Amino acid sequence: MPRFQLQLRVDSPSSDGDRLASALTEASERVRVDLYRKLGLKVHSNAWVTIALGSDKGRRTVQAILEECRAGNVVAGSATVFERLDEAETAAADWFYVTTKTADRSFSLWDDYPSYTPGGMAGQHVMNHTFVSEEFVQACERSRLRGVSFLRCRSRGRKPARAWFVALPDQGLGHGLDHPWFDRRLWIRDVDDYPARRSSSLDMGQNCFHQRWLRLDLGPEAAFLVPLLELFPPPRPRESTLSGLTVVTVPRYWARVFPDADFAYVPWGEDGPNREGKPMRFRQLVVSRRARRALIDAGLLAPKALLAVRSIVDPEAGVEVLDEHHDPVPPMYTPDELVVLRLEERRLFGA
């Protein structure tokens, strides 16, 4: 059963109606303190509160905030609805995103050969979405995990350093599926000519979307969104998606194209050339349930670092099966590119 949480920030009403401009004012700080204390809400990150939407208390809290907005005492500045899986749903999942910490200026795929700067990675075994430690490689070999190879990175340090590798799954997990609440037609209308307004290419399923891209014919399972949408007036054309309501659901993939393997990849961002014209394809690791257990048992990843995705066999009516209409998502390196990289790896390391 899906569970949803709301992260919400209220602001003081702005005289000019600019929701973003009112977020940082002293007046907004005062109304937050008063309202959050009145409702018994615990504040995190200075301005934000979390509300469990499935509980009676959560419904009463949302209603109370709505009444304050109707009275003109506050405005809802920004909010995000998050879908959460319980432990049983997580344990039953087939595939998991590997979520990682990011080390700025430590790892680079921009060079002709992947490289890293030693230091700052103590205790970590997966970094920057696709880089893995030597211990990670050894654990995969011991557990005989399938469907991945590793390319050793060049160290930019002067002294011998712990080895790091780029993990290269053989196949992708697919293009993914839109959430049934998401209206792809509205989204493409808004972002087709504005790449900066989207976080992926147009041929990828969307699980994170602003209220402007919600379907109009939401079913009864989305009834809890009705009072939330009243909190946020319909956004103006081209208004920033930093304000208003955003929905973040569990990623969904079409089970009929899953690889028979323990590793896969999904795009991280949108493919495209860098300033020098070099094609860049950033990828994020995805692991099977079997690989998840092996990596946790080896002490290399904590359970919270592995985000379950939904396996959908028969998508809902109206949800486009993108994998039927597009070529498979390409790997980070084409076969020809990988031949060149393997030659350089042998030159550097004698592998």
Residue 1 pLDDT exceeds 60: no
Predicted confidence (pLDDT) per residue in 88-132, tens digit: 999 999 999 999 877 777 888 888 899 998 876 777 899 889 999
Residue 153 pLDDT exceeds 50: yes
Predicted confidence (pLDDT) per residue in 4-47, tens digit: 999 999 999 874 455 555 677 888 889 999 999 999 998 877 78
Residue 159 pLDDT exceeds 90: no
* CA distances (Å), origin 277, targets 39, 63, 110, 127, 200: 54, 53, 11, 25, 19
Domain residue spans of the chain: 3-84+208-248, 92-174+253-349
Q: How many CB atoms lie within 10 A of CB 272?
A: 11
Q: Is 126 helix (H, G, I), strand (E, B) or coil?
A: strand
Q: What is the mean pLDDT of residues 230-237?
A: 82
Residues β-bridged to residue 287: 96, 263
Q: Is 295 helix (H, G, I), strand (E, B) or coil?
A: helix
Mean pLDDT of the chain: 91
| Interacting residues of 258 by C-beta distance below 8 A, sequence separation 6+ | 94, 95, 173, 174, 264, 311
The pLDDT, as a whole number, for residue 180 is: 96
Length of the chain: 351
CA distance 99 to 4: 20
Question: What burial class does residue 19 get, using C-beta atoms within 10 Å of its C-beta: 0-12 exposed, 13-18 middle, 19+ buried?
Answer: buried
Predicted confidence (pLDDT) per residue in 242-285, tens digit: 788 999 999 999 999 999 999 999 999 898 887 778 888 999 99
